Amino acid sequence: MRESFGGYLLNRPHSPQAVQVDIDDTTLRDGEQTAGVVFANEEKIRIARLLDEIGVYQIEAGIPTMGGAEKEAVAKIAALDLNCSILAWNRAVVSDIKESIECGVDAVAISMSTSDIHIEHKLRATREWVLESVKEAVDYAKSQGLYVSVNAEDASRADMEFLLSFARTARDAGADRIRFCDTLGILDPFNTFMKIKTLIDVTGMDVEMHTHNDFGMATANALAGVKAGARFVNTTVNGLGERAGNAALEEVIMALKHVEKIDLNFRPEKFRELSQYVARASNRPIPPWKPIVGASLFWYESGSRSAGVIDDPTTFEVFSPEDVGLRRRFVLGKYSGVASLRLKLSEHGITVSNEEAALLICRLRSKSMKLKRALFDAEVVEFYEELIGEVREEVAAMKATGAEAQAEACVAAAEIAERVAGHDVSASRDGKGADGDGVPVTAEEA
């Protein structure tokens, strides 16, 4: 497969404007299947509203055949009159579909294993039984006027010829799309591309990507599927999901927009609100370094990077923090420089000269190294107040003795340090003086 991939790409026309991609979010189903995660019904309703507000095409609301609170939640979400489609998950069993219909959903996912290992050891059945079950379930769902997605579970490990037969059976029974499930997250983008292209070329069906992150490639594999022609992507907020999780909603949308130039017209400024809510409801905090919504994504300490962003944010930012509901912050530590210190002090109404800033920053770096963390705003101000008298006397003495060169050398040395090493050091290890994601905050924010 990989041997033919490169040649195909070289000849493939690139026309992003012609590509249509829709997001089917499964936070409320596959996200909640994360070990230890349970959403209360009111939380599910709030999440559904937020997903609708940001612009998802479809919400996979749950599994009605579980009954009880689960079925009640799906019914309540279906009754919200949202702008998006509401889909319910089902086994390839007619009784499951009847439970979904009772909830008032407009779409169903009919899920069935396609790999031999699942068919033999999970289902204890045969390939023939699988095909017949899918045909019967799809026939019934379509007779009830439902939109039907047929989920090919463990498709990445399925025999390709059988997977194609599976898809043809679903298509001929009237299924609207096939969900390709990389259930164990074992594919790379190259194999994903070739499998999805083959599936589309042979069957002509709309394909939905359902990718897992076991090897850190869920988002990349979802995008590879889109490149191959997949029309739908199944996501979860924050990448929530079993084991290592699923393709993250926020990552897929922003990668499509900024990497693939496919704008789905979402409202990314609400991503942070949505992500924080799901994080609290699932008791799974957002890591500060999380792509797109992590609090430290626009947090700068390195002097060269800070200076670049201060001059022109696009030097180190593909999109602005406001685009995704975040804020830009400059913290001071081992790699900070004169420009960063002057900017930080100016936020507190304090003005210092270049020479004063150069002497202060040298001392501040030493303090940061002793603390093994960056300094919080309140500490920076306190540090300034303690040392500014001494520093001003030192600068004045230099100038009085005609040692302007020494003062200039201090500035030059500080500027050299600003250009050294682009990596950031971590925030406080104990989280004191930081916000909920461990990022230093100003005294006002604390």
Taking the CA of residue 277 as centre, how many other CA atoms within 13 Å lie in the half-sphere pointing to its CB? 20
76 found inside a domain: yes
Residue 408 has pLDDT above 70, yes or no: no
359 found inside a domain: yes
**Cα radius of gyration (the chain):** 27
Same domain, 277 and 320: no
Residue 409 has pLDDT above 60, yes or no: no
368 found inside a domain: yes
Residue 405: predicted pLDDT = 57
Q: How sure is the predictor about 175, in pLDDT bands with cuts at 50, 70 and 90?
A: very high
Q: How sure is the predictor about 300, in pLDDT bands with cuts at 50, 70 and 90?
A: confident
Same domain, 337 and 193: no
Same domain, 227 and 317: no
Domain harbouring 91, CATH code: 3.20.20.70
Angstrom distance (rounded) from CA 272 to CA 435: 14
The SS3 call for residue 208 is strand
Q: How sure is the predictor about 23, in pLDDT bands with cuts at 50, 70 and 90?
A: very high
Of 160-164, 308-312, 422-426, which range is least confident? Answer: 422-426
DSSP strands (E only) in 144-231: 147-153, 177-182, 206-211
DSSP per-residue letters across 76-132: HHHTT--SSEEEEEEES-HHHHHHHHHHT-SEEEEEEE-SHHHHHHTS---HHHHHH
The string of pLDDT tens digits covering residues 2-21 is 445 555 554 444 554 568 99
The string of pLDDT tens digits covering residues 362-371 is 999 999 999 9
Residue at which a domain ends, from 236, 253, 282: 282
Instruction: Report the predicted TM-score, pTM, of the whole model to 2 decimal places.
Output: 0.84
24 found inside a domain: yes
The string of pLDDT tens digits covering residues 98-118 is 999 999 999 999 999 999 999
User: What domain range includes position 380?
Assistant: 296-418
- The residues, any chain, with a CB within 8 Å of residue 349's CB and separated by 6 or more, are none
The residue written with tokens 């081992």 in the block is: 334
Q: What one-letter code names the amino acid at 22?
A: D
Q: What one-letter code names the amino acid at 157?
A: R
Residue 223 has pLDDT above 70, yes or no: yes
Same domain, 360 and 216: no
Same domain, 323 and 251: no
Same domain, 63 and 202: yes
Chain centroid, CA 41 distance in Å: 24
291 found inside a domain: no
Mean pLDDT of the chain: 88
Of 8-12, 79-83, 266-270, 435-439, which range is least confident? Answer: 435-439
CB 213 within 8 A of CB 239: yes
Same domain, 127 and 51: yes
CA angle in degrees (0–180, nearest 5) for 158-9-227 = 55
Share of residues in the chain with pLDDT > 70 (%)? 86
User: H or E element: which one contains 190?
Assistant: helix 189-203
Residue 412: predicted pLDDT = 53
Same domain, 275 and 307: no
163 found inside a domain: yes
- Please give the tally of structural domains in the chain: 2
289 found inside a domain: no
